[in-house]
């Protein structure tokens, strides 16, 4: 099953007030495993960046001025997301912006039922506890030290780890210490990794599933990220 862990950054909270998307980041999972494929795009919102939004993600007018507008990237975006499930933290926020941009670009909107909301899942699993992405990283001991500001691709990579933990399993980390350098050098890697769960959760894979995974990894070639972990 192909799933797409997605995050956006915007100029504000409401597209109905003229706010726009300025960044989209997506991490591809197949059968709950990262394939190494990502989608990352900065977007010129064709409007000034409010100071309060700049304080969140650090994407200013000068940086975004030469970036493509949404109508220039919409077809590539739709081709990447295809018809697969979108895993989003607070899905209502990102979906309303994505669908507003798609409507303005005269494209069909994304059905909301395609979105799987990890915020709702976290609140169901841990009622009464903080359910922000940072809070869930603390709960699952996931290193988010590179997240000094919000960034769509970095947040998608972190959310992918959180998503797997919310489902009850633990996968090798997504090399988050190098993610910041790849998307702009925000933050520094910690001197030592944060502690992980003392004992891994028992595997729920059958021998048939292990064989299917090995065949899948073989098709990805020698550069597949999972070869680093010997699986």
Catalytic residues: 150
The β-bridge partners of 33 are 30
Q: Read out DSSP for 69-120?
A: PHHHHHHHHHHHHTT-EEEETTHHHHHHHHHHHHHHTT-PPPPGGGEEEHHH
Listed in sequence order, the DSSP H helices in the chain are 51-57, 61-64, 70-81, 91-104, 118-125, 133-140, 152-166, 176-183, 207-220
Strands 33-42 and 85-88: unpaired
**CA dist., res. 173 & res. 75, Å (int):** 31
Contact 57, 21 (CB under 8 A): no
């Amino acid at each position: 099953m192909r799933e797409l862990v997605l995050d956006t950054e915007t100029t504000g909270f409401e597209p109905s007030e003229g706010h726009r998307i300025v960044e989209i980041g997506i991490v591809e999972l197949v059968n709950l495993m990262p394939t190494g494929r990502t989608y990352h795009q900065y977007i010129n919102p064709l409007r000034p960046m409010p100071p309060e939004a700049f304080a969140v993600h650090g994407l200013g007018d000068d940086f975004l001025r030469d970036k493509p507008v949404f109508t220039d990237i919409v077809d590539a975006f739709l081709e990447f997301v295809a018809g697969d499930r979108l895993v989003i933290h607070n899905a209502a926020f990102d979906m309303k912006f994505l669908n507003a941009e798609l409507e303005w670009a005269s494209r069909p909107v994304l059905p909301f039922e395609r979105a799987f909301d990890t915020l709702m899942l976290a609140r169901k699993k841990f009622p009464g506890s903080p359910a922000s992405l940072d809070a869930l990283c603390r709960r699952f001991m996931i290193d988010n030290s590179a997240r000094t500001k919000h960034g769509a691709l970095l947040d998608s990579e972190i959310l992918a780890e959180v998503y797997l933990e919310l489902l009850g399993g633990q996968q090798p980390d997504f090399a988050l210490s190098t993610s910041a350098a790849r998307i702009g050098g925000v933050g520094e890697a910690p001197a030592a990794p944060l502690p992980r769960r003392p004992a891994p959760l028992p595997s729920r894979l059958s021998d048939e599933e292990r064989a299917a995974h090995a065949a899948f990894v073989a098709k990805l070639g020698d550069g597949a990220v999972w070869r680093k972990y010997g699986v």
